[in-house]
Amino acid sequence: MSLPQPTLDVEPSERVRSLRQKRDQRHRRSLRAARFRAVGWEMTGRLAVNLGLSLVALSALVRLVPYHHTQLQVLHEVETSVESMRSQNQRLLEDFSRSFDPAQTSQVLQENGARESAHHVPIVWVDALPPETEAESEPVE
């Protein structure tokens, strides 16, 4: 006769099951902690990049503000110059149109040249000394 054969437990014992559960819980906790750490590092990286970009943008604005004010001053000077040139251009245009206006030709000729119209009578002012001063001022010989 043969010896009785031991029966093999197909199911693990309670102790083995509890050890596996503990091991699985620890593994899950470590995975969760690793995920939280990864998310934390990602957020830290994002914040650092955004902070860096914000600082770069702020420094660019600080540099652009004085340049903007300088450009506004130059623009004001140019606008003032353009306005004076417009008034000068308007004056020259009026003078040009007056010079070529047939109704004012004779008046323009009198103003600009030595030619005078036939109706013009020249007036010459002469300083005349009173007769007493003339006699007194002449030397006696």
User: What pLDDT is attached to residue 1?
Assistant: 59
Q: Other C-beta atoms within 10 Å of 63: how many?
A: 10
- Tracing tokens 């047939």 back to the chain, one arrives at 102
Amino acid 30 reads S
pLDDT, one tens digit per residue, over 18-74 is: 888 888 888 888 888 889 999 999 999 999 999 999 999 999 999 999 999 999 999
pLDDT, one tens digit per residue, over 124-136 is: 888 877 667 555 5
On whether the CB atoms of residues 24 and 32 are closer than 8 A, the answer is no
